[in-house]
């Protein structure tokens, strides 16, 4: 499969941010208490980035301001028509205290692709990377240093124009908030159980499946509740032809007994940056890597025959997590687990945390 390439913006002057400090920022003691056990997505740093866009004014009024509620007109288009996109990317603290992020150009470019699909303005990649730096410059102390901990950065953009006609909004806001993070799944890297969504799809042909937009996640919540009711951690979706797509918030990867690594390829799957990186690391080790359709039948038969020797999920939040069980309405398939998922996870996180050479130049320093 084609690995994602990079296309940084050239020739754009950086934005000039106005910074207003949070006078009610948490004390160092309060912050440290949160950082001991941050969980996932429950605590937020003291500041946020806020940049405006309008049809006439382009990107303007870049600010770093105290974290806090947004004031929205009740007619804001996002509240009615869901014109919204987001990203997920982490900042990692290295042993020398420095703070780095991972392939931000790729997240910036994916945000642009999502913007195109949702008829939102494309934020230049250089502004995207700058927005992460600006937030880390003021909230860097929130990047935890514990094992597998990071600061999860959540850039997002939405239609804030007050207008009930259905058309792309003329006023948009781009924001970045940040949340200290530990493991996404409570069990850490223990194998997770997956519920097969047989009644609900996440995406359709020509739909928004490849965009990181809230509506895809909204569509996944009922099947995700079904997963919880069936004591599963996550839900996996099929396309209209019965091919495996992805989980609610992660891509899926299959390892075959000859060492080939296969991940579903389809225009309605989110192009995961973790997946791309893992496949590159596997290719570097000499594994054959394929992006192609994988039917549910191929998955189930492959596991039953021993052709498939490992199945794992990957994404920024979950990193790499083995899949231990696939459960449907009338079956439970135990999944084989092996060494490869965990060793690729280790290699990836070693690079991210600066413990191993970054041969592909994936890290970008955010502080200093």
> Rule CB under 6 A: which residues touch ligand COI?
88, 249, 315-317
Measured between alpha carbons, how far is 289 from 347 in angstroms, rounded to an integer? 17
How distant is the alpha carbon of residue 245 from its chain centre? Answer: 16
- Note whether 291 binds ligand PLP by CB under 6 A: no
- Note whether 315 binds ligand PLP by CB under 6 A: yes
Pick from ligand COI, ligand PLP, none: which does 84 bind, CB < 5 to 8 A by kind?
Answer: none
Structure tokens at 231: 């004591």
Give least dist CB 249 to ligand PLP, A. 4
Measured between alpha carbons, how far is 300 from 296 in angstroms, rounded to an integer? 6
Residues contacting 260, CB < 8 A, separation 6+: 287, 288, 289, 290
For ligand PLP, the closer of residues 266 and 316 by Cβ is 316
- Of the listed pieces 56-64, 134-142, 153-161, 243-251, which binds ligand PLP according to CB under 6 A? 243-251
Give least dist CB 274 to ligand COI, A. 8
SS3 330: coil
For ligand PLP, the closer of residues 171 and 213 by Cβ is 213
Element (H, E) at 168: none
Measured between alpha carbons, how far is 127 from 150 in angstroms, rounded to an integer? 22
Measured between alpha carbons, how far is 330 from 367 in angstroms, rounded to an integer? 52
Cross-strand pairs, 310: 255
Sole binder of ligand PLP in the list 250, 279, 309, 351 (CB under 6 A): 250
The CA-atom distances, in angstroms, between 342 and each of 73, 190, 243, 345 are 47, 10, 26, 5
Pick from ligand COI, ligand PLP, none: which does 62 bind, CB < 5 to 8 A by kind?
Answer: none
- Note whether 104 binds ligand PLP by CB under 6 A: no
For ligand PLP, the closer of residues 38 and 88 by Cβ is 88
Give least dist CB 13 to ligand PLP, A. 29
Binding site residues, ligand PLP, CB under 6 A = 88, 246, 249-251, 270, 272-275, 315-316
């Amino acid at each position: 499969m084609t690995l994602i390439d990079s296309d940084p913006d050239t020739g754009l002057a950086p934005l000039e941010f106005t910074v207003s400090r949070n006078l009610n920022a948490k004390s160092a003691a309060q912050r440290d208490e949160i950082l001991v056990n941050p969980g996932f997505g429950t605590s937020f740093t003291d500041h946020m980035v806020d940049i405006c866009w309008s049809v006439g004014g382009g990107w303007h009024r870049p600010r770093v301001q105290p974290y806090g509620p947004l004031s929205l007109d009740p007619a804001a288009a996002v509240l009615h028509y869901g014109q919204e996109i987001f990203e997920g990317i982490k900042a990692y603290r290295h042993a020398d205290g420095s703070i780095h992020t991972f392939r931000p150009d790729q997240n910036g470019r994916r945000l642009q692709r999502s913007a195109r699909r949702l008829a939102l303005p494309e934020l230049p990649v250089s502004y995207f990377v700058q927005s992460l730096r600006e937030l880390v410059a003021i909230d860097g102390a929130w990047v935890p240093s514990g094992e597998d901990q990071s600061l999860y950065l959540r850039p997002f953009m939405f239609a804030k124009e007050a207008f009930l006609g259905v058309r792309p909004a003329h006023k948009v806001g781009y924001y970045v908030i940040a949340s200290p993070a530990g493991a996404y799944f409570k069990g850490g890297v223990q194998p997770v159980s997956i519920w097969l969504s047989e009644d609900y799809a996440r995406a359709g042909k020509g739909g928004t499946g490849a965009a990181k937009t809230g509506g895809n996640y909204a569509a996944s919540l009922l099947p995700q509740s079904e997963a919880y009711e069936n004591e599963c951690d996550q839900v996996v979706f099929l396309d209209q032809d019965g091919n495996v797509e992805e989980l609610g918030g992660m891509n899926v990867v299959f390892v075959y007994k000859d060492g080939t690594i296969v991940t579903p390829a389809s225009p309605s799957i989110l192009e995961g940056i973790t997946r791309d990186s893992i496949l590159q690391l596997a290719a570097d080790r000499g594994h054959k890597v394929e992006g192609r359709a994988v039917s549910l039948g191929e998955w189930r038969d492959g596991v039953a025959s021993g052709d498939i020797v490992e199945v794992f999920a990957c994404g920024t939040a979950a990193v790499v997590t083995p899949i231990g069980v696939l459960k449907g309405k009338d079956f439970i398939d135990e999944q084989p687990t092996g060494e490869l998922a965990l060793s690729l996870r280790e290699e990836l996180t070693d690079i991210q945390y600066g413990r191993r050479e970054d041969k592909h130049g994936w890290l970008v320093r955010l502080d200093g």
